Amino acid sequence: MLIKIYPENPNPREIDKVIDVLRDGGLVIYPTDTVYAIGCDALNVRAVEKICQLKESTRKKQPFHHLLQPFEPQRICKDK
């Protein structure tokens, strides 16, 4: 499925589709300044495993996380 979201005029229905994909454990591909990135719900273990499989990673080499809101590190990180 290809969903285009235009920053200057985002369509709420298209954004809702992306949210549904993420909530269902799906992956999204989005452009950054230099490359395309693969994203998922970082709290969904199966979604993160999909990225690891796609990138042929192991649990020893954790994927990089982009956080959308400043409070998210507390939700993702565990106390040591």
Find the mean pLDDT for residues 4-22.
91
pLDDT tens, residue by residue, 22-77: 999 999 998 888 988 888 988 888 998 888 888 776 556 655 655 555 554 455 55
Query: Sign of the CA dihedral 41, 46, 47, 52?
Result: positive
> Which tokens is 68 given?
């959308």
What is the number of other CB atoms lying within 10 angstroms of the CB of residue 27? Answer: 15
Helix (H) or strand (E) holding 53: helix 45-54
